[in-house]
């Protein structure tokens, strides 16, 4: 690149409103001649020239673009005074730019911006919370995340699900709600009946020392298969109703991820079975052992950010595909469970490698413990879900199961 | 930290001299100003500008929007239009800089590419080869803008389906073009966080979609 005139060119780095700033006045195209800054005018409020170092420093008050007028001379001829202009950009603090707009009051299938609850079963607690992210709040769209908590067979089984509606799917807020409720409801119903008894018996036998190949995996694969099918059926039914009511749409408008965990707590330990499709993360850990971590699913991702898979008909109709996504584990008493949508897992786990590292999981669990210890854990979780991490503004959902007999 | 890489390729051939390149400078500054007002863009956009005439050069590599300072872009007299070289440089930089999923680092969002030219590529063979490679790559969006009477839109259509034409190379037209690019970047960065597809806003009246 060439410069059309031989005059020195001045530049100053960008600043940020409210943040301490110190930067030199950069000089280019001055050839061999030393340049001295004589005076600076037009600096934004909060910034001034450091007389000794010839730097601009201070804390700018507001965002804006400022034309700074410089007077300078050459060291070898200080009698001649020259002037130049350069631009000083003060960026706003991104936090101050986020708007909070409610979705339109007349939109179909509305959903509250946040939801949370605490369920106590004896010594065990389930804490769940889901919050609309800044990205949706900024444009006035709905929370696309959802969760489901249920119990079956006199509270022996717990059923936990989270879902994250696809951003490109128009009604995915409804999709995640339908899928979590239908799949969760189906699991609760089946586990409350003979199926639950069969599984409980098989688990008990295993925990008593029976090392024969148990039927729990087969049972759980069948259960999760039927639950996923129930989710698809619920969406199909909704589409049909909508058509009848003159609101054309198709199942693709309701696309969602789905992470599901069934837990059976006995005095011998926790039997955990999980099924997952999509991103987010689901894991088990034993708080008293910081080295413990059992991943209950492998998140679906692509080459680039934002690429994942969603619950779909083809998956549900393929038993081997379901089988590949189911994990069953026998875990020690006191094991805890965490289900996260990617709005939480993305910022909390810096890399994919971090997902298989117990440390960040235990750090997260410790924060959940603090929330559980407050007088009102559900609202405390909603506040916690507001944590600020630049670049991460998706809806956030967390379901925590604190085990123990 | 997930970045949205945005690459802007600007034609600085001889025919862009004068009002055209001045308008590009104003347009780019305005675009950067408005992007800095958007929280998504301010946190996620990393920008790189490549200019091309008789040769292609990277004005600055991928830089976080907050730190971008744009020097005056100039069009040297009698420069050709080596768009092929620009695209080759772009591909090389994308391969070097854009992060895909790995155990060690978070993947970037798929990058955005904006190409602006007022003529036909002087290095046609290089252009054709590079355009085919761009088509095969994963970009969130490729926007090509042909400017003025001499541009060959069929060439740009080899690059992307999203081709627009700015017929009059004046200040108002460029301002409009860069406003549209700015909105497109904002929209792409906002949708990036929500697994959405990337639908662009319709271009303003001064710019017509060129099918």
d(CA B3, CA B98): 9
pLDDT, residue B211, reads 42
d(CA A104, CA A88): 40
How many other β-carbons are positioned within 10 Å of the β-carbon of residue A362? 18
Distance of CA A369 to the CA centre of its chain: 19
Q: What is the DSSP letter of A156?
A: T
Q: What angle do CA B141, B142, B146 make, to 5 degrees?
A: 145
ipTM summary value: 0.85
Q: Are B146 and B117 in contact (CB under 8 A)?
A: yes
Q: Which segments of A9-61 does DSSP mark as H helices, in order?
A: none
Min distance A355 CA to chain B CA atoms (Å): 9
pLDDT, residue A104, reads 95
pLDDT, residue B203, reads 65
B141: left (phi over 0), alpha (psi -120 to 50) or beta: beta
Predicted TM-score of the model (pTM): 0.88
Q: Rounded mean pLDDT of chain B?
A: 87
d(CA B3, CA A398): 25
d(CA A167, CA A336): 30
Q: What are phi and psi of B69, to 5 degrees?
A: -125, 130
- Tell me which H or E stretch contains A126: strand A124-131
Contact B196 A304 (CB under 8 A): no
Between B36, B76, B106, which is nearest A351 by CB? Answer: B106
Contact B1 A4 (CB under 8 A): no
Ranges of chain A with pLDDT below 70: 1-5, 404-405
Contact A167 B194 (CB under 8 A): yes
pLDDT band at B207 (very low <50, low <70, confident <90, very high): low
Tell me how many residue pairs between chain A and chain B have CB atoms under 8 A apart. Answer: 119
Q: Which segments of A87-133 does DSSP mark as H helices, in order?
A: 94-97
Q: Are B84 and B124 in contact (CB under 8 A)?
A: yes
pLDDT, residue A3, reads 43
Q: Which residues of B touch A306 (CB under 8 A)?
A: 109-110, 192-195
Give which of B70, B49, B56 is closest to B7, Cα–Cα. Answer: B49
Distance of CA A251 to the CA centre of its chain: 25
Is residue A144 classed as helix, strand or coil in its secondary structure? coil
Cα-Cα-Cα-Cα dihedral sign, residues B116, B120, B124, B129? positive
DSSP of chain B: ---EEEEEEEE-SGGGTTHHHHHHHHHHHHHHHHHTTSHHHHHHEEEEEEEESSSEEEEEEEEEGGG--PPPP---TT----HHHHHHHHHHHHHHHPPPP-SSSPPPPPPEEEEEESS--SSHHHHHHHHHHHHHS--SEEEEEEESTT--HHHHHTT-S-EEEE-S-SHHHHHHHHHHHHHHHHHHHHHHTTT---PPPPPPTTEEE--
CA-CA distances (angstroms) from residue B202 to A112, A204, B86, B195? 31, 62, 27, 21
What tokens were used for A92? 């706003």
pLDDT band at B200 (very low <50, low <70, confident <90, very high): low
DSSP of A227-283: HHHHHHHHHHHHHHHHHHTT----GGGG-B-EEEEEEEEETTEEEEEEEEESSSEEE
Is the per-residue pLDDT at B115 higher than 50?
Answer: yes
How many other β-carbons are positioned within 10 Å of the β-carbon of residue B150? 12
Q: Determine how β-strand A55-58 pairs with β-strand A21-24.
A: antiparallel
Q: Is B108 on the interface with A (CB under 8 A)?
A: yes
- Tell me which H or E stretch contains A176: helix A172-191
Q: What are phi and psi of A155, to 5 degrees?
A: 70, 15
pLDDT tens for each residue of B64-106? 999 999 988 999 887 799 999 999 999 999 999 999 888 788 8
pLDDT, residue B199, reads 61
Q: What is the mean pLDDT of residues B170-186?
A: 84
Q: Chain B residue with minimal CA distance to A9?
A: B71
Give which of A138, A214, A215, A143 is closest to A172, Cα–Cα. Answer: A143
pLDDT, residue A313, reads 92
Give which of B158, B122, B159 is closest to B139, Cα–Cα. Answer: B159
Q: Which residues of B touch A13 (CB under 8 A)?
A: 67, 69
d(CA A147, CA B209): 43
- What percentage of chain B carries pLDDT values higher than 70? 90
pLDDT tens for each residue of A320-371? 999 999 999 999 999 999 999 999 999 999 888 899 999 999 999 999 999 9
Give A65's contacts (C-beta < 8 A, 6+ positions apart): A87, A88, A89, A90, B33
- Tell me which H or E stretch contains A217: helix A216-244
Round the CA-based radius of gyration of chain A to a whole number and report it: 29
d(CA A114, CA A142): 10
Q: Which of residues 189-208 of A touch B (CB under 8 A)?
A: none
CA-CA distances (angstroms) from residue A123 to A126, A284, A337, A377, B121? 10, 18, 15, 15, 73
Between B59, B69, B101, which is nearest A11 by CB? Answer: B69
pLDDT tens for each residue of B119-146? 899 999 999 999 999 988 888 889 999 9
What tokens were used for A259? 């992470």
Contact B197 A14 (CB under 8 A): no
CA-CA distances (angstroms) from residue A207 to A154, A211, A349? 20, 9, 33
Give B116's contacts (C-beta < 8 A, 6+ positions apart): B8, B9, B10, B11, B24, B144, B145, B147, B177
Distance of CA A307 to the CA centre of its chain: 14
d(CA B111, CA B8): 11
What tokens were used for B40? 């998504």
pLDDT, residue A4, reads 43
B188 or A87, greater pLDDT: A87
Q: What are phi and psi of B187, to 5 degrees?
A: -65, -45
């Amino acid at each position: 690149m060439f410069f059309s005139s031989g005059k020195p060119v001045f530049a100053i780095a960008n600043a940020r409103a409210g943040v301490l700033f110190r930067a030199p006045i950069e000089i280019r195209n001055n050839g061999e001649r030393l340049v001295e800054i004589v005076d600076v005018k037009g600096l934004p409020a909060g910034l001034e020239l450091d007389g000794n170092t010839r730097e601009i420093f201070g804390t700018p008050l507001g965002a804006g673009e400022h034309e700074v007028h410089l007077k300078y001379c050459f060291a070898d001829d200080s009698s001649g005074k020259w002037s130049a202009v350069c631009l000083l950009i003060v960026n706003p603090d991104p936090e101050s730019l986020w708007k909070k707009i409610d979705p339109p009051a007349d939109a179909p299938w509305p959903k509250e911006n946040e939801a949370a609850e605490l369920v106590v079963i004896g010594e065990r607690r389930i804490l769940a919370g889901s919050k609309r992210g800044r990205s949706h709040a900024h444009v006035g769209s709905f929370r696309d995340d959802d969760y489901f908590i249920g119990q079956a067979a006199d509270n022996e089984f717990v059923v936990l699900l989270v879902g994250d509606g696809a951003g490109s799917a128009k009604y995915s807020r409804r999709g995640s709600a339908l899928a979590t409720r239908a799949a969760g409801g189906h699991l609760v119903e089946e586990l409350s009946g003979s199926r639950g008894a069969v599984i409980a018996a098989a688990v008990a036998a295993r925990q008593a020392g029976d090392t024969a190949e148990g039927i729990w995996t087969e049972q759980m694969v069948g259960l999760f298969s039927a639950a996923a099918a129930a989710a698809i059926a619920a969406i199909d039914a909704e589409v049909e109703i909508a058509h009848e009511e003159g609101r054309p749409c198709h199942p693709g408008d309701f696309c969602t991820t789905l992470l599901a965990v069934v837990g059976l707590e006995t005095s011998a330990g926790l039997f955990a079975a999980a099924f997952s499709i999509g991103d987010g993360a689901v894991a088990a850990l034993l708080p008293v052992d910081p080295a413990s971590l059992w991943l209950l699913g492998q998140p679906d991702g692509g080459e680039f950010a934002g690429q994942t898979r969603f619950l779909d008909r083809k998956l549900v109709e393929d038993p081997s595909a379901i089988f590949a996504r189911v994990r069953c584990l026998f875990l020690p008493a006191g094991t805890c469970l965490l289900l996260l949508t990617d709005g939480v897992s993305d910022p909390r786990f810096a890399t994919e490698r971090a997902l298989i590292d117990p440390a960040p999981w235990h750090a997260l669990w410790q924060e959940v413990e603090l929330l559980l210890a407050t007088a009102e854990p559900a609202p405390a979780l909603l506040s916690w879900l507001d944590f600020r991490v630049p670049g991460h503004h998706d809806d956030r959902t967390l379901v925590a199961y604190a085990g123990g007999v | 930290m997930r970045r949205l890489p945005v690459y802007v390729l600007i034609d600085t051939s001889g025919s862009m001299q004068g009002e055209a390149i001045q308008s590009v400078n104003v347009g780019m500054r305005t675009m950067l100003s408005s992007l800095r007002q958007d929280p998504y863009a301010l946190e996620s956009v990393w920008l790189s500008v490549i200019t091309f005439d008789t040769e292609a050069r990277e004005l600055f590599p991928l830089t976080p929007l907050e730190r971008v300072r744009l020097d005056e872009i100039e069009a040297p007299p009698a420069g050709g239009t080596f768009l092929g070289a620009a695209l080759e440089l772009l591909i090389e930089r994308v391969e070097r800089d854009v992060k895909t999923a790995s155990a060690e680092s978070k993947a970037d969002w798929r990058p955005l590419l904006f190409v602006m030219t007022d003529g036909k590529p002087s290095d046609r063979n290089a252009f054709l080869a590079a355009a085919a490679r761009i088509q095969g790559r994963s970009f969130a969006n490729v926007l090509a803008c042909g400017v003025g009477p001499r541009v060959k839109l069929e060439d740009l259509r080899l690059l992307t389906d999203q081709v627009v034409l700015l017929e009059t190379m004046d200040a108002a037209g460029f301002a409009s073009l860069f406003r549209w690019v700015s909105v497109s970047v904002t929209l792409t960065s906002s949708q990036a966080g929500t697994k959405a597809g990337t639908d662009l806003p319709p271009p303003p009246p001064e710019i017509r979609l060129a099918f």
